[in-house]
Amino acid sequence: MAVDMRLPAILKQISLSGSKGAAASLVVPGDVITTDTGFMRGHGTYLDEEKLTASVAGEVERVNKLICVRPLKTRYNGEVGDVVVGRIAEVQQKRWKVETSSRLDSVLLLSSVNLPGGELRRRSAEDELSMRDYLQEGDLISAEVQAVFSDGALSLHTRSLKYGKLGQGVLVQVSPSLVKRQKTHFHNLPCGASIILGNNGYIWLHPTPMQQDEEAGGYYTSTEPVALSDREVISRLRNCILALAAHKVMLFDTSVLYCYESSLSHQIKDILKPEVTEEVVLQTRHRLADQEG
Amino acid sequence: MAGLELLSDQGYRLDGRKSTELRKIQARMGVFDQADGSAYLEQGRTIALAVVYGPHDVRGSRAKIQHDRAVINCQYSMATFSTAERKRRPHGDRKSTEMSLHLKETFEAAILTHLYPRSQIDIYVKILQSDGGNYSACVNAATLAVIDAGIPMRDYVCACTVGFVDDTPLADMNHAEESGGGTNLALALLPRGGQIALLQMDARLHQDHLDTLMEAAMTACKGVSKVLDEVVRQHLQETVILTGE
Amino acid sequence: MATVQISEAEKLYVVHGVRDDLRVDGRGCEDYRHTEIETDVVSNTDGSAKVTLGHTNVLVGIKAEIGKPKPMLPDEGYLEFFVDCSANATPEFEGRGGEGLGIELSNTLYKVFSNKQSVDLKSLCISPGEHCWVLYVDVLLLQCDGNLFDAISVAIKAALFNTKIPKVRIAEEEDGGKEIELSDDPYDCVRVNVENVPCIVTLCKIGHRHVVDATLQEKACSVASLLISVTHKGLVTCVRKLGGGSLDPESIFEMTETGKRVGKALHAPLMELLQKEESLGSKRQKVGFLG
């Protein structure tokens, strides 16, 4: 057994020097961004007597005439085409309610899923009755955002073989703003596991599947135990992602992989100890910077 | 004012402050990971901890759902060991229910609730150590927590209590001064626009003095807002540097 | 209890992991998460401690007040427990939501700590039958991520270690009455002997094995758990089965053995840490929540 008890350490002060450029575009609620009326009002701003004012603390983003303020941390704001990982919260008539750390529960309509067998057909009353056989409360799914309703709730779909019910693996939850938007959010990492980086901050780690079983339509889950070697990789990845998230490093395949490699000299369970976390994250940062520079 | 000299002839108060001087405010945003937003705030020896959950689906009765805006749900509670005399219950008594209501009203004025129809925002504030000005510490901590959660607000909400002794307003009263009796005015202000989110005054006061007292309270709130602003900007810069963008 | 939802497949993954002695976060079955302890964090108390165990975060404040001894035990003081499941920890606890859990926790704590074997209750007596010290132990849950009992017990032990009860003098008055005088000097105080204060170990039965320090996720995979309180000598002071499922006697025996071993081993690093903190005294910068 192992117990690691200690006194809390004082957080290191981050030097704020050399960041003048960034500071200019940082605003807090109530800051007037511009008094010029020629701009369009985006998220995170409001008009206060003709003055465009920030309503959240964050960075100002300008796209042509549109001004937005992106808060550092917020609930997930879905956009059409985003890949998300979510948990079924409720089975309702003709639809599932899905928890996606968005501000309202997302909706997965029975008509937006591929039913087993893969054939495209009208959804019958039987399908409606057997909805729980496909997905029940607590199940995890990967899906794509199909539409955003007027009240901000998301409508999801799983009409592709890469989406669907998730089997054995580990879910890690981080802030949505830490997941970097990329071309693909599905990766088979060379270290031996696969990762789905949901745009909503839900990250799914699972053993790389042997072959895609098309007939199952994504509703069959293997009950075979996962090999110990795969588990070790997954657990290490999990702790690496948490370490990166704790130090607010953007998450994408390369940063996760670099962190994984930097952590190899430590035991898996030690990665979450503050000093090891710091060391591993620092190495990752250096490697990322080297690659860029 | 029996017995206690709240303001000496030289113009100093019991704890050595000048009449307009605030207590030292220290704060940190993002203390907990599980909540959407959180903040810790020390105002002198008064300590408040605020967490924000949401916006999320309305829990409990569907009747609460507002179709054009978010519902704000507040709970104020005090740790049983927070006061000099042990409290029997952390919340649920009249005083804390009243405080919860005040907090709700204050933040309904500041948060842009119309952006989040059909949702709910929970603000929970806990007093860990009480030394006067509990309401203002709560509001200030909750403001930071709401900002940490990335929920849009019109402006900061800053609160401060002001007392009135010997024709002089005393800013940011501590427990000893509060319990000395006399007038006590609590004000929550949206500093930039000078809008008042909450105003409450206990005990009587001559109408002629009200202006002076309000003026002093506004100045004190603006003082608080400066400190909060520093905390937020510091937090903002640190995070931006870490994310490396 | 704060709960998390978990799918069948995830459950399977956790159970198989426990079987292979590799948990989701890389720990073995008998490993604790990273623990941070700090005492003397709230100044309105006579003793306080804050414990962070993974994401579980508890704050304990102890207030000493003068009360009347219980009629059955006139020469002993006593401890009172209160657990505040505040809404800060999880919105589920809002209003009266946390009351049930709070009562369950405080009753167990009462059984574990408020007896002669754990705390020297006689030392809390001021004058037999008339006055004694009552230690009000108030636990505040700030964040829940499983294993509340262990975290609370460590926090209570640390807070008791930190508790300073003012010295009292009993002055006889002329008319025969007694008056209690409290010492004004903050350094003139009595400490509580924490040598025999037990620590709680909660063992969660997952599949055919059991784990210590289960996270909420792991707890969702287990049917029942066993709570054991153990002193530094390995003496078991309380055993309780928690949760809805059932356990067979065989596994209870195994779990008790593990619990004893783990519980005994908890005390040494804890005491070492507390003494180290004390010896640093005012040289150490307080961390608290400001970090």
- Cis check: omega of the bond before B55, within 30 degrees of 0: yes
Instruction: Give the count of domains, chain B.
Output: 1
Percent of chain C with pLDDT over 90: 67
**Mean pLDDT along residues C216-239:** 92
Where in chain A are the domains?
37-72
**pLDDT (tens digit per residue) in B76-95:** 999 999 998 898 888 888 98
User: Is the per-residue pLDDT at B2 higher than 50?
Assistant: no
Tell me which residues of chain A, numbers 25 to 44, contact chain C at a CB-CB cutoff of 8 Å. Answer: none
Residue B155 has its nearest CB partner, among A29, A59, A74, at A29
Half-sphere exposure of A6 (CA within 13 A, CB side): 10
- The string of pLDDT tens digits covering residues B43-88 is 999 999 999 998 999 887 788 889 899 999 999 999 999 998 898 8
pLDDT at A13: 66
The three-state secondary structure class of B146 is helix
Topology (CATH) of A37-72: OB fold (Dihydrolipoamide Acetyltransferase, E2P) (2.40.50)
Give the residue-averaged pLDDT of C232-259.
91
With beta carbons less than 8 A apart as the criterion, state whether B109 and C103 touch: no
DSSP state of C281: G
Q: Report how far residue B41's alpha carbon sits from residue B137's, in angstroms, rounded to the nearest whole number.
A: 7
- Which sequence spans correspond to the domains of chain C? 8-281
Q: In terms of pTM, does the model score above 0.90? A: yes
A41 touching B (Cβ < 8 Å): no
Residue numbers in C near B122 (CB within 8 A): 87, 91, 94
C-beta atoms of A178 and B119 within 8 A? no
What residues of chain C lie within 8 A of the CB of A231, using their CB?
Answer: 16-17, 20, 22
Beta bridge partners of C181: C169
Question: B177 lies in a domain?
Answer: yes
- Nearest C-alpha in C relative to A274: C34
Query: Tens place of pLDDT for every residue, chain A, 293 residues?
Result: 778 888 888 777 666 655 544 556 899 999 999 888 889 999 999 998 889 999 999 999 999 999 999 998 899 999 999 999 999 999 999 999 999 999 999 999 998 988 766 666 677 888 888 889 889 999 999 999 999 998 889 999 998 888 989 989 999 999 999 999 999 999 999 998 999 999 999 999 999 887 655 444 456 667 788 899 999 999 999 999 999 999 999 999 999 999 999 999 999 999 999 999 999 999 999 999 998 87
Cβ B240 vs Cβ A71: under 8 Å: no
Contact B86 C55 (CB under 8 A): no
8 Å CB contact between A156 and A111 = no
Residue B228's domain is classified under what CATH number? 3.30.230.70
CB-CB neighbors (< 8 A) of A23 in chain B:
237
| pLDDT of amino acid C273 | 94
**Is residue B17 one of the residues assigned to a domain?**
no
| Residues of chain C positioned with their CB less than 8 A from the CB of A238 | 24-26
Residues in B whose CB is inside 8 Å of some CB of C read 26, 28, 31-35, 40, 42, 45, 47, 49, 51, 53, 59, 73, 75, 77, 79-84, 86, 90, 92, 122, 124, 126, 128-130
Distance CA B90, CA B100 (A): 13
Of C98 and A24, which is predicted with more confidence? C98
- Going from the C-alpha of A20 to that of each of A14, B95, B239, the distances in angstroms are 14, 46, 14
- Return all residues near B103 (Cβ < 8 A) that are at least 6 apart: B74, B76, B123, B125, B138, B139, B142
CB-CB neighbors (< 8 A) of A285 in chain B: 244
Among partner residues C5, C26, C273, which is closest to A268 by beta-carbon distance?
C26
**What does the CA dihedral B135, B53, C96, C84 come to, rounded to 10 degrees?**
-70
**CA distance to partner chain B, nearest, from residue A71 (Å):** 5
B115 falls within a domain: yes
CATH 3.30.70.960 fits domain C8-281: no
In sequence order, the 6+-apart residues with CB closer than 8 A to the CB of A125 are none
Residue-number span of the structural domain to which B233 is assigned: 25-243
More reliable by pLDDT, C142 or C183: C142
- Answer whether residue B110 is part of any domain: yes
Q: Among residues A206, A278, A289, A205, which one has the least CA distance to residue A255?
A: A289
